[in-house]
């Protein structure tokens, strides 16, 4: 069923319906944390050395704070039924952290459509589609929540 909300027609049945994210559950690998950290020019020893990380109280090599955002690049998303739109681009992203991600963790991720709204600015009318993601680790702890809003230009009114 589609509906018009804030003058945007989209598939309302998707709102709030959690679904598993592609590629999850995912085992977090130490070498991938190190690769991420190296590319970004990180130097904090807990990102590179298991012993140092464990001495600091972590379960394994520690992932830097924004690591999870790399795991959802190009995430598969259901079609929300917008009409007359082209590609979308990431407009905002907010990460709320409740715990740390370490090598050896098995992360699960669920996501759902949180909001769809229209905003008119200097560059015209744009539609924002907001997806919320929850990351849960192998012991069932909610580790992070993330909200990504994607902007679509030129959506039909």
Partner 1 sequence: MAIDYDGIQIGDELGPLDKLITTEDVRTFTKIQREDGGGPAFFTDSESAIREGLPGRIVPGPISMAFMAQLAVSWSDGGWIKKLDVIFRQPVPHGIPVRVSGVVTDKYHIKGAGHVECDIYVESMEGDKLVGGQVIVVIPT
Positions in the binding site for partner 1 (CB under 8 A): 23, 26, 28-29, 32, 35-36, 39-42, 44, 64-67, 69-71, 73-74, 86-87, 89-97
Min. distance of Cβ 1 from partner 1 in angstroms?
30
d(Cα 108, Cα 63) in Å, to the nearest integer?
Answer: 16
1 versus 43: smaller Cβ distance to partner 1: 43
12 versus 29: smaller Cβ distance to partner 1: 29
Min. distance of Cβ 88 from partner 1 in angstroms?
10
In this structure, how many other beta carbons lie within 10 angstroms of the beta carbon of residue 123? Answer: 8
Secondary structure class of 122 (helix, strand, coil) = coil
Contacts of 9 (CB under 8 A, 6+ apart): 2, 3, 81, 82, 83, 156
Q: Are strands 142-153 and 124-136 parallel, antiparallel or unpaired?
A: antiparallel
10 versus 128: smaller Cβ distance to partner 1: 128
Min. distance of Cβ 147 from partner 1 in angstroms?
9
């Amino acid at each position: 069923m589609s509906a018009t909300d804030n003058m945007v027609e989209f598939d309302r049945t998707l709102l709030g319906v959690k679904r598993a994210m592609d590629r999850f559950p995912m085992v977090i690998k130490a070498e991938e944390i190190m690769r991420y950290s190296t590319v970004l020019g990180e130097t904090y020893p807990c990102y590179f050395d298991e012993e140092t990380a464990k001495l600091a109280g972590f379960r394994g090599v520690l992932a830097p704070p924004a690591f999870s955002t790399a795991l959802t690049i190009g995430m598969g998303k259901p079609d929300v039924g917008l009409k007359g739109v082209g590609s979308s681009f990431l407009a905002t992203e907010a990460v709320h952290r409740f715990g740390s991600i370490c090598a050896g963790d098995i992360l699960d991720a669920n996501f759902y459509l949180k909001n769809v709204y229209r905003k008119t600015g200097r560059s015209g009318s744009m539609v924002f589609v907001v997806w919320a993601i929850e990351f849960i680790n192998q012991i069932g702890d909610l580790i992070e929540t993330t909200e990504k809003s994607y902007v679509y230009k030129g959506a039909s009114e």
